[in-house]
Amino acid sequence: MNKRLHQTTSIIMLIPALLLGACSGGGGGNGTSNNTAPPADNSAAANKNATAPAAPKPEPKSDATITVGASQNWIKDVDRKLAEEFTKESGIKIDFQVNPDDQYKNVMKTKLATGEAPDIMYLNSGITLSDYQPEKNFLDLTKEPWVAKQRDWAIQGSTVDGKIYGFNTWSADGWAMLYNTKLFADNGLTAPKSFDELLKVCDVLLKKGITPIYDNTKDTWHVGQWFASMSYAFQQEDPGIFKKLNENQAKFSDLKSAKQGLVDYKTLYDKGYFGKNSLSNEWTRGYDAMGSQKYAMILVYTTYQNEVAAKFPESNAKDWKMFPVPIGGNTGFTYGPGIVRVVNKGTKHVPEIQKYYEFLSREKNLKSFYEARTDLGEMSFKDMEVRPPSNAYKSVTEMAGQSQSLSLTNTTKFIDGDLMGKLMQDMLIGQLKPEQVLQKFDESRIKSFTVAK
């Protein structure tokens, strides 16, 4: 585990687990024994006609349906498989309702406001949960029995104002620049430590006919990830910036590193380092782009290389490494505790959801989940065997050293990554200047503070 996860913020005290009767009933019968003493003279007939106590009936299966809202890339085959197994066991159906990645956050906020939200919602962990008014909208899960089995960072990422709102089966992970070590070595290149060094690397690769960076610029959520990856640079410029932002006492437009980061990102685009028509590039095409070795770098999470290796065994993707995103003067690695599942406070299926979470938190089912999710890093349940860290994770943490920080979505209120991504797209095509992007983003956050009051 990354030791920084225990150092960035104080860990809340775990609440003792309480039994909530979530396990399904069942038990053996209580038939009469044949080892009784012989009956008295006139009791034989009565004993002959006596009826043995009936065995308890198994708990009837439910016909309820739990609705689950999620961003389209968050629901995997293993989630559907486990849901099917849960339905066979309990009768309770799971209805996954997926939404486009770049619209999901706003869709969930709208549904909560109109009373139409699903029973369970997948959301980003950390302080961003406060964007949804958890006290009003989410069920307090602090006393659920699975809480005691989760790692401290998973609890931390699910907690707002001392209450646990999220069920976390995700992992602690971060985003950085993954690069093809063979392409770098073949061209005499090493991992860049600054933006100027990154430009030189890109120049060499482009002249060799290799597109330097695959950027799925079509996806606003991913474009916004470039901005979030500068969290450490923001903190270096102003150590108290996250606290000030959360108290509405600072703006991103005040940060020189934020503006420079946007300038740097546009420079990469303008120089053609993302290739032609990157605004048409989608997330799912990144595997082929990197696996075919037509591209040399990509901004992704630390276990992404495992997925490329599975799809393209000859790519040697497991040998690839990572370096921190060097825009805006950033030299640090940002991370967070992933995605959590919150429960709609207005749900009519609390007992059914308790059974579902109990089912998912069983050791056998957790093992199935984590074995299938090779894209996840350290597992949120502490009794699970930890998958060895990826080569990418080891290399980026070694390069960053102590220069590590929680991501914006885990530290700062009202961070709308999709909005930032859309504003940055407008910047790329010349509709906005970097300072205007920050001004509009600040305006959105100020409105959110006003609404929250």
CA distance 425 to 431: 9
More confident residue, 83 or 389: 83
Residue 2 predicted with pLDDT over 60:
no
Q: Is 326 helix (H, G, I), strand (E, B) or coil?
A: coil
Number of separate domains in the chain: 2
Residue 386's pLDDT band (cuts 50, 70, 90): low
pLDDT at 160 (0 to 100): 92
Q: Are residues 353 and 430 in the same domain?
A: no
pLDDT at 51 (0 to 100): 52
Burial class (CB in 10 A: 0-12, 13-18, 19+), 87: middle
Q: What is the pLDDT of residues 246-287, one digit of tens each?
A: 999 999 999 999 999 999 999 999 999 999 999 999 999 999
Residue with tokens 């690769």: 205
Domain assignment present for residue 291? The answer is: yes
Q: Are residues 202 and 106 in the same domain?
A: no
Out of 22-36, 104-118, 377-391, pick the least confident. 22-36
* Neighbour order of strands in the sheet with 339-343: 93-99, 65-71, 120-124, 339-343
Q: Are residues 327 and 343 in the same domain?
A: no
Q: Are residues 316 and 354 in the same domain?
A: no
Q: Which residues contact 447 (CB under 8 A, 6 or more apart)?
A: none
pLDDT at 21 (0 to 100): 38
Domain assignment present for residue 348? The answer is: yes
pLDDT at 54 (0 to 100): 58
Q: Are residues 209 and 280 in the same domain?
A: yes
Domain assignment present for residue 180? The answer is: yes
Domain assignment present for residue 414? The answer is: yes
Domain assignment present for residue 350? The answer is: yes
Q: Give mean pLDDT, residues 4-28.
A: 35
Domain assignment present for residue 445? The answer is: yes
Looking at residue 116, the DSSP 8-state letter turns out to be -
**Cα dist from 406 to 103, 354, 364, 446, whole Å:** 24, 30, 31, 22
Residue 6 predicted with pLDDT over 90:
no
Q: Are residues 290 and 319 in the same domain?
A: yes
Domain assignment present for residue 42? The answer is: no
How far does Cα 9 stand from its chain's mean position? Answer: 19
Q: Give mean pLDDT, residues 49-60.
A: 56
Residue 389's pLDDT band (cuts 50, 70, 90): confident
Residue with tokens 């000859």: 314
CA distance 407 to 269: 24
Q: Are residues 415 and 372 in the same domain?
A: no
Residue 62's pLDDT band (cuts 50, 70, 90): confident
CATH number of the structural domain spanning residue 72: 3.40.190.10
Q: Give mean pLDDT, residues 225-229.
A: 96
Q: Are residues 103 and 208 in the same domain?
A: no
Q: Are residues 347 and 229 in the same domain?
A: no
Q: Are residues 276 and 422 in the same domain?
A: yes
Q: Are residues 190 and 229 in the same domain?
A: yes
The whole domain housing 124 covers: 61-168+338-379
